[in-house]
Amino acid sequence: MKYLIVGLGNIGPEYHETRHNIGFMAVDALAKTAGATFNDGRYGFTATISVKGRQLVLLKPSTFMNLSGNAVRYWMQKENIPLENVLIVVDDLALPFGTLRLKGKGSDAGHNGLKHIAATLGTQNYARLRFGIGNDFPRGGQIDFVLGHFTDEDWKTMDERLKTAGEIIKSFCLAGIDITMNQFNKK
């Protein structure tokens, strides 16, 4: 069984470890624990890890957030991965920092990366792991906030939150979405 785990973010040093790049950070952490390294490929950087006989293709799109669907579609086709084995890891303003929510489908909630993925794939019925980044910004300050860096307070629990995100990703691949949502969405 093969899975495509897509961490959303933007490439380039100016976006490194910004709130909008939490998807990159989650797949980076998962690759690091498995001792895997990312290779530069078409539409993104990929690493492959094995979890109990399941092959996980980790993807960090190089298309920039607003064109993420191009990378997702390409790697699904290249690796012959069905939609039900795709998981998108994405930042979410509606959730407090560090809150993790797995969903089997849903709206893009104004997120341009999810919007482009849905438009490209022709459906919103794909799994996503929403990583809360909070929403402590003044009216009109959303763009600066999501492209800004995490606070010192956020960093105190970052490693633990990224580790939990990795556990959710692995459980999604091993136990399926329903069991994983029941186990982790209550936390």
Q: Give buried/exposed letters for 41-59 (b at 16+ CB in 10 A, else e).
A: eebbbbbebebeeebbbbb
Catalytic option among 16, 20, 111, 149: 20
Q: What is the pLDDT of residues 127-171, one digit of tens each?
A: 999 999 999 888 888 889 999 999 999 999 999 999 999 999 999
162 CB neighbour count, 10 Å cutoff: 22
Q: What is the pLDDT of residues 29-67, one digit of tens each?
A: 999 999 999 999 999 999 999 999 999 999 999 998 999
Q: Where are the beta strands (DSSP E) in 8-118?
A: 39-41, 44-51, 54-61, 86-92, 100-103
Expressed as residue numbers, the domain containing 81 is 1-183
Judged against a pLDDT cut of 70, whether residue 187 lies above it is answered with no
> What global pTM score does this model have?
0.96
CATH classification at residue 124: 3.40.50.1470
What pLDDT does residue 11 have?
94
Count: domains in the chain: 1
Residues flagged as binding site for tRNA: 15, 64, 66, 112
Q: Is 16 a catalytic residue?
A: no
81 CB neighbour count, 10 Å cutoff: 19
Distance CA 59, CA 35 (A): 15
